A and B are shown apart, each in its own frame.
Chain A
Amino acid sequence: YNDPASNLGLEDIIRKALMGNLEERPD
Protein backbone atom coordinates (compact mmCIF):
# COMPACT_ATOMS: atom_id res chain seq x y z
CA TYR A 1 0.00 0.00 0.00
CA ASN A 2 1.91 3.04 -1.09
CA ASP A 3 1.30 6.27 0.74
CA PRO A 4 -0.75 8.72 -1.36
CA ALA A 5 0.19 11.73 0.74
CA SER A 6 3.89 11.10 0.22
CA ASN A 7 3.46 12.48 -3.31
CA LEU A 8 3.00 15.89 -1.73
CA GLY A 9 5.69 15.54 0.94
CA LEU A 10 2.98 15.83 3.59
CA GLU A 11 4.89 14.02 6.33
CA ASP A 12 7.92 16.25 5.86
CA ILE A 13 5.81 19.42 6.17
CA ILE A 14 4.09 18.01 9.27
CA ARG A 15 7.34 16.99 11.00
CA LYS A 16 8.95 20.36 10.36
CA ALA A 17 5.85 22.25 11.50
CA LEU A 18 5.64 20.13 14.67
CA MET A 19 9.24 20.95 15.45
CA GLY A 20 8.46 24.56 14.65
CA ASN A 21 11.18 25.08 12.03
CA LEU A 22 9.36 25.37 8.74
CA GLU A 23 10.95 28.76 8.12
CA GLU A 24 13.79 27.43 5.95
CA ARG A 25 12.83 26.36 2.37
CA PRO A 26 11.75 22.70 2.16
CA ASP A 27 14.59 20.77 0.46
Chain B
Amino acid sequence: GAKVLACPLNACPVSGAERTSQEIWESFSQCFTPAVKEVVEFAKGIPGFQELSQQDQVMLLKSGTFQVLMVRFCTLFNAKERTVTFLNGQTYPLSTLRVLGMGSLLDAMFEFSEKLGSLGLEPDEMALFMAVVLVSADRSGISDMQAVEQLQEGLIRALRSLISRRRPDDSALFPKLLLRLPDLRTLNNMHSDKLLAFRIDP
Protein backbone atom coordinates (compact mmCIF):
# COMPACT_ATOMS: atom_id res chain seq x y z
CA GLY B 1 0.00 0.00 0.00
CA ALA B 2 3.05 2.29 0.23
CA LYS B 3 3.29 4.82 -2.60
CA VAL B 4 6.42 5.88 -4.53
CA LEU B 5 6.68 9.65 -5.08
CA ALA B 6 9.37 10.34 -7.68
CA CYS B 7 9.16 14.14 -7.63
CA PRO B 8 11.65 15.70 -5.17
CA LEU B 9 9.10 18.40 -4.34
CA ASN B 10 7.57 15.68 -2.15
CA ALA B 11 8.82 15.28 1.41
CA CYS B 12 10.38 11.90 0.63
CA PRO B 13 10.29 9.26 -2.15
CA VAL B 14 8.06 6.78 -0.30
CA SER B 15 4.83 7.44 1.53
CA GLY B 16 3.44 4.94 4.05
CA ALA B 17 0.34 2.88 3.34
CA GLU B 18 -1.54 4.66 6.12
CA ARG B 19 -1.52 7.93 4.17
CA THR B 20 -4.28 8.40 1.58
CA SER B 21 -3.57 9.81 -1.88
CA GLN B 22 -5.53 12.90 -0.88
CA GLU B 23 -3.24 13.48 2.12
CA ILE B 24 -0.16 12.90 -0.05
CA TRP B 25 -1.53 15.30 -2.66
CA GLU B 26 -2.27 18.00 -0.10
CA SER B 27 1.23 17.92 1.38
CA PHE B 28 2.75 17.86 -2.12
CA SER B 29 0.66 20.82 -3.22
CA GLN B 30 1.93 22.86 -0.26
CA CYS B 31 5.23 22.92 -2.15
CA PHE B 32 3.99 22.59 -5.71
CA THR B 33 1.43 25.43 -5.67
CA PRO B 34 3.86 28.08 -4.33
CA ALA B 35 6.50 26.83 -6.79
CA VAL B 36 4.07 27.33 -9.69
CA LYS B 37 3.02 30.71 -8.30
CA GLU B 38 6.72 31.67 -8.19
CA VAL B 39 7.03 30.80 -11.88
CA VAL B 40 3.99 32.98 -12.65
CA GLU B 41 5.43 35.90 -10.67
CA PHE B 42 8.73 35.38 -12.49
CA ALA B 43 6.89 35.43 -15.84
CA LYS B 44 5.12 38.67 -14.94
CA GLY B 45 8.58 40.21 -14.53
CA ILE B 46 9.68 39.25 -18.05
CA PRO B 47 9.59 42.45 -20.15
CA GLY B 48 6.80 42.05 -22.70
CA PHE B 49 5.19 38.96 -21.19
CA GLN B 50 2.22 40.83 -19.77
CA GLU B 51 1.61 42.43 -23.17
CA LEU B 52 0.54 39.00 -24.38
CA SER B 53 -3.17 38.23 -24.11
CA GLN B 54 -4.23 36.63 -20.81
CA GLN B 55 -5.06 33.41 -22.64
CA ASP B 56 -1.65 33.30 -24.34
CA GLN B 57 0.04 33.92 -20.98
CA VAL B 58 -1.88 30.96 -19.53
CA MET B 59 -1.08 28.68 -22.48
CA LEU B 60 2.64 29.52 -22.38
CA LEU B 61 2.79 29.03 -18.62
CA LYS B 62 0.92 25.73 -18.90
CA SER B 63 3.39 24.33 -21.39
CA GLY B 64 6.49 25.95 -19.91
CA THR B 65 6.06 25.79 -16.13
CA PHE B 66 7.47 22.28 -15.64
CA GLN B 67 10.48 23.11 -17.81
CA VAL B 68 11.18 26.23 -15.73
CA LEU B 69 10.77 24.18 -12.55
CA MET B 70 13.24 21.61 -13.91
CA VAL B 71 15.82 24.36 -14.33
CA ARG B 72 14.92 25.98 -11.03
CA PHE B 73 15.26 22.73 -9.06
CA CYS B 74 17.86 20.91 -11.15
CA THR B 75 20.46 21.19 -8.37
CA LEU B 76 18.33 18.75 -6.32
CA PHE B 77 19.67 16.16 -8.79
CA ASN B 78 23.36 15.82 -7.94
CA ALA B 79 24.85 14.13 -10.99
CA LYS B 80 28.32 13.79 -9.47
CA GLU B 81 27.13 12.05 -6.31
CA ARG B 82 24.19 10.36 -8.09
CA THR B 83 21.80 11.50 -5.36
CA VAL B 84 18.48 13.36 -5.22
CA THR B 85 17.58 15.70 -2.37
CA PHE B 86 13.91 15.59 -1.40
CA LEU B 87 11.93 18.23 0.44
CA ASN B 88 12.78 16.70 3.83
CA GLY B 89 16.37 17.75 3.12
CA GLN B 90 17.60 14.17 2.88
CA THR B 91 19.56 12.88 -0.09
CA TYR B 92 18.68 9.50 -1.60
CA PRO B 93 21.21 7.51 -3.64
CA LEU B 94 20.47 6.31 -7.14
CA SER B 95 20.49 2.68 -5.93
CA THR B 96 17.58 3.37 -3.58
CA LEU B 97 15.65 5.26 -6.25
CA ARG B 98 16.22 2.45 -8.76
CA VAL B 99 14.75 -0.07 -6.30
CA LEU B 100 11.72 2.22 -6.08
CA GLY B 101 11.33 1.93 -9.83
CA MET B 102 12.75 5.25 -10.99
CA GLY B 103 14.42 4.93 -14.38
CA SER B 104 14.87 6.89 -17.59
CA LEU B 105 13.37 10.20 -16.42
CA LEU B 106 15.68 10.20 -13.40
CA ASP B 107 18.68 9.42 -15.63
CA ALA B 108 17.70 12.25 -17.99
CA MET B 109 17.40 14.67 -15.06
CA PHE B 110 20.87 13.73 -13.82
CA GLU B 111 22.28 14.28 -17.30
CA PHE B 112 20.52 17.61 -17.70
CA SER B 113 21.61 18.80 -14.27
CA GLU B 114 25.21 17.85 -15.05
CA LYS B 115 25.23 19.66 -18.40
CA LEU B 116 23.55 22.81 -17.10
CA GLY B 117 25.68 22.86 -13.97
CA SER B 118 28.87 22.54 -16.01
CA LEU B 119 28.09 25.86 -17.74
CA GLY B 120 28.56 27.69 -14.42
CA LEU B 121 25.92 30.36 -15.02
CA GLU B 122 25.62 33.38 -12.77
CA PRO B 123 22.19 33.87 -11.11
CA ASP B 124 21.15 36.63 -13.55
CA GLU B 125 22.26 34.54 -16.52
CA MET B 126 20.24 31.60 -15.15
CA ALA B 127 17.19 33.84 -14.70
CA LEU B 128 17.43 35.09 -18.29
CA PHE B 129 17.86 31.51 -19.48
CA MET B 130 14.69 30.52 -17.57
CA ALA B 131 12.83 33.35 -19.32
CA VAL B 132 14.01 31.97 -22.68
CA VAL B 133 12.90 28.48 -21.57
CA LEU B 134 9.41 29.74 -20.74
CA VAL B 135 8.82 31.62 -23.99
CA SER B 136 10.31 28.74 -26.01
CA ALA B 137 7.76 26.26 -24.67
CA ASP B 138 5.23 24.48 -26.88
CA ARG B 139 2.89 26.99 -28.56
CA SER B 140 -0.24 24.89 -29.04
CA GLY B 141 -3.23 27.03 -28.19
CA ILE B 142 -1.32 30.30 -28.63
CA SER B 143 -3.36 32.85 -30.63
CA ASP B 144 -0.71 35.52 -31.31
CA MET B 145 2.27 33.47 -32.48
CA GLN B 146 4.12 36.52 -33.77
CA ALA B 147 4.05 38.23 -30.40
CA VAL B 148 5.51 35.15 -28.69
CA GLU B 149 8.16 34.77 -31.40
CA GLN B 150 9.21 38.41 -31.00
CA LEU B 151 9.35 37.98 -27.24
CA GLN B 152 11.52 34.91 -27.66
CA GLU B 153 13.87 36.59 -30.14
CA GLY B 154 14.34 39.57 -27.86
CA LEU B 155 15.13 37.39 -24.85
CA ILE B 156 17.57 35.23 -26.82
CA ARG B 157 19.32 38.39 -28.06
CA ALA B 158 19.56 39.65 -24.49
CA LEU B 159 20.93 36.30 -23.29
CA ARG B 160 23.50 36.17 -26.09
CA SER B 161 24.75 39.71 -25.38
CA LEU B 162 24.89 39.14 -21.61
CA ILE B 163 26.91 35.96 -22.00
CA SER B 164 29.26 37.31 -24.67
CA ARG B 165 29.82 40.44 -22.58
CA ARG B 166 30.69 38.37 -19.51
CA ARG B 167 32.77 35.73 -21.26
CA PRO B 168 33.93 37.14 -24.61
CA ASP B 169 36.49 34.35 -25.02
CA ASP B 170 34.01 31.49 -24.54
CA SER B 171 32.09 31.48 -27.82
CA ALA B 172 30.88 27.91 -27.22
CA LEU B 173 28.94 28.74 -24.05
CA PHE B 174 25.89 30.34 -25.65
CA PRO B 175 25.29 27.53 -28.19
CA LYS B 176 25.74 24.96 -25.40
CA LEU B 177 23.11 26.81 -23.40
CA LEU B 178 20.62 26.86 -26.27
CA LEU B 179 21.16 23.11 -26.67
CA ARG B 180 19.57 22.67 -23.28
CA LEU B 181 16.21 23.76 -24.73
CA PRO B 182 15.59 20.52 -26.67
CA ASP B 183 16.79 18.59 -23.61
CA LEU B 184 14.09 20.33 -21.59
CA ARG B 185 11.44 19.51 -24.21
CA THR B 186 12.39 15.84 -23.97
CA LEU B 187 12.33 15.95 -20.17
CA ASN B 188 8.95 17.68 -20.28
CA ASN B 189 7.52 14.99 -22.58
CA MET B 190 8.84 12.21 -20.35
CA HIS B 191 7.44 14.00 -17.31
CA SER B 192 4.06 14.46 -19.02
CA ASP B 193 3.84 10.71 -19.60
CA LYS B 194 4.31 10.18 -15.88
CA LEU B 195 1.70 12.83 -15.10
CA LEU B 196 -0.84 11.07 -17.32
CA ALA B 197 -0.54 8.06 -15.03
CA PHE B 198 -0.90 10.17 -11.90
CA ARG B 199 -4.30 9.94 -10.20
CA ILE B 200 -5.69 11.24 -6.93
CA ASP B 201 -7.97 8.47 -5.70
CA PRO B 202 -11.48 9.87 -5.08
Interface residues of A (CB under 8 A from B): 2, 4-5, 7-8, 10-11, 13-15, 17-18, 22, 26
Contacts and interface: CB of A to CB of B under 8 A. Distances in A.
Most buried by A among B29, B44, B61: B61
Interface of B: 29, 32-33, 36-37, 40-41, 44, 54, 57-58, 61-62, 65-66, 191-193, 195-196, 198-200
Contacts of B33: 13, 22, 26
Contacts of B37: 13, 17, 22
B196 A8 contact: no
Nearest to A13: B36
15 contacts: A2-B196, A4-B196, A5-B195, A7-B199, A10-B62, A11-B58, A13-B33, A14-B36, A14-B65, A17-B37, A17-B40, A18-B40, A18-B58, A22-B33, A26-B29
A12 B37 CA distance: 11
Name B's interface SS.
Answer: helix
Given A8-B32, A10-B36, A10-B65, A15 B195 contact: no
A17 B57 CA distance: 11
A24 B70 CA distance: 27
A19 to B, nearest CB: 9
A19 B165 CA distance: 37
B116 to A, nearest CB: 23
B198 A7 contact: yes
Contacts of B36: 10, 13-14, 17
B61 A14 contact: yes
Contacts of A11: 58, 62
Most buried by B among A7, A14, A22: A14
B42 to A, nearest CB: 10
A7 B40 contact: no
Contact of B195 (A4, A13, A18): A4
A26 B25 CA distance: 13
